[in-house]
Amino acid sequence: MKLQRMNRRALALGALAVSGALALTACGSDDTGTSSGGSSAAAKPGSIKCDDAKGQLLADGSSAQKNAIDAWVKQFTAACQGTQINYKGGGSGAGVTAFTQGQVAFAGSDSALKPDEVTASKKVCSGGQGINLPMVGGPIAVGYNVNGVDNLVLDAATLAKIFNNEITNWNDPQIKKLNPDAKLPDLKIQAFHRSDDSGTTDNFTKYLIDTAKKDWPYDGGKTWQAKGGQSASGSSGVAQQVKQTNGAIGYFELSYAKDGLKTVDLDTGAAQPVKATVDNATKAISEAKVVGTGKDLALQLNYGTKAEGAYPMVLVTYEIVCDKGNKAETLPATKAFLRYIASEEGQKILAEADYAPIPADIISQVRTTVDGLS
């Protein structure tokens, strides 16, 4: 067994292969490559209040808001020298776990804390508990790839039936009824969902449960529950499969819908079908109600909205911190950073990165809460 027996030439070839592999894997990540970082560099450093923020701030959580956090961190650390913010986009579950174990100053999550998670957070927040602060909104786009179809309108019931394998062909009468002018081919529908647990799945199915309960008889959650269909890992994986496969349809965050991927317009019951855009998503989020108690600002979205130009298939991601009992050494930096991202300036960066800002009346509550953190 001489697997290691390589001479100089083989080593050189191996080095080539490895460096090639590195170059390849660098392209294969979930990077959405938005222009957020560069274009927003014009922010005035003076407008960010650092107070006595310094040291390293650890955070972990939702990968959906990773691009937004990256853009914010770039601005913030440029203004506040001596502060380092390390946000690991390990997923909402990992973020909440890290938070309840006291490993991070704040966590990002696509869904608000569950009651048992709030209980767990009381151990970390001495005298307080974990609260949800909505910071980033975003539309979930449904991308499709059908040759010859450029404008596709679907409603919640049809979407539910497609993803539940009840509608299996593109020339189904129900799709035709919503798209009288489209030339729908006789083609098998290949519905793609996420293979990994995901906040996007959670919010997508929450929308279906709220608006098409009859056709979507599942409990919801981060795990995909319907049987059948095809799956891929990560939003980028789903987007790539949809792009590759004729007859495919799949859901992902809007920022992944690029390079000619077409997205479904939602028939919400409004006069006009609604396109998946940042503005339309903000309109829908503005109908959200705060359902958190005390300082908690967990939102309940109005998925059934029929308002003109409101795109209701949205997700809101939260930053989770302690209302009281944050660690003394990280509190100033946490407060300063959260104050910045909730500020007008911080929220403005979002739209450039295909995220939706949080509506004014909710974000003003967030600002008040951030100021009261202790």
Partner 1 sequence: MDTSTQITDAPPPAPQPATDKRAARGATRPGDRIFLGLSRGSGILLLVIMAAIAVFLTYRATLAISKDQGNFLTTFEWDTNLVPPNFGIAVLAFGTVISSIIAMVIAVPIAVAIALFLTHYAPRRLRGPIAYVIDLLAAVPSIVYGLWGALVLVPNMTGLFGWLNDYLGWTGIFSWQGGAPRSMLTVGILLAIMILPIITNVSREVFRQVPQMHEEAALALGATRWEVIRMAVLPFGRSGVISASMLGLGRALGETMAVATVLSPSFLIETSLLDPGGGTFAQNIASKFGEATEFGRDALIASGLVLFVITLLVNGAARAIIARRKEYSGANA
Q: Which is nearer to partner 1, 14 or 372 (CB)?
A: 14
Site for partner 1 in 202-231 (CB under 8 A): 219, 221-223, 225, 227-231
Site for partner 1 in 19-38 (CB under 8 A): 21, 24-25, 28
277 counts as binding partner 1 under rule CB under 8 A: no
Q: Which of 18, 41, 78, 360 binds partner 1 (CB under 8 A)?
A: 18
Q: Which of 53, 131, 232, 331 binds partner 1 (CB under 8 A)?
A: 232
In DSSP notation, 47-108 reads GS--TT--EEEEEEE-STTHHHHHHHHHHHHHHSTTEEEEEE---HHHHHHHHHTT--SEEE
Is residue 109 within 8 Å of 96, Cβ to Cβ?
yes
Main-chain dihedrals φ then ψ at residue 317, nearest 5 degrees: -105, 145
Taking each continuous run of H as one helix and of E as one strand, the counts in the chain are 13, 13
Token couple for 40: 């927003």
Q: Which of 56, 151, 244, 272 binds partner 1 (CB under 8 A)?
A: 244
Token couple for 30: 């979930």
Region from 133-141, 190-198, 277-285, 312-320 binding partner 1, contact rule CB under 8 A: 190-198
Q: Which of 40, 67, 97, 347 binds partner 1 (CB under 8 A)?
A: 97
300 counts as binding partner 1 under rule CB under 8 A: no
Q: Which of 36, 65, 145, 198 binds partner 1 (CB under 8 A)?
A: 198
103 counts as binding partner 1 under rule CB under 8 A: no
2 counts as binding partner 1 under rule CB under 8 A: yes
Alpha-carbon torsion, ordered 208, 209, 215, 216, to 10 deg: 90
- Minimum distance from residue 318 beta carbon to partner 1 (Å): 15
- Minimum distance from residue 188 beta carbon to partner 1 (Å): 6
Give the contacts of 124 (CB within 8 A, at least 6 positions apart). 99, 100, 101, 102, 130, 322, 325
Continuous segment of H or E residues that includes residue 340: helix 331-342
12 counts as binding partner 1 under rule CB under 8 A: no
Is residue 168 within 8 Å of 189, Cβ to Cβ?
yes
Nearest alpha-carbon partner for 314 in 371, 349, 359? 359
Is residue 359 within 8 Å of 310, Cβ to Cβ?
no
Q: Which is nearer to partner 1, 229 or 269 (CB)?
A: 229
Number of residues that bind partner 1 (CB under 8 A): 46
6 counts as binding partner 1 under rule CB under 8 A: yes
Residue type, 65: Q
- Which residues form the interface with partner 1 (CB under 8 A)? 1-3, 5-6, 9-10, 13-14, 17-18, 21, 24-25, 28, 63, 90-94, 96-97, 188, 190, 195-199, 219, 221-223, 225, 227-233, 241, 244-245, 248
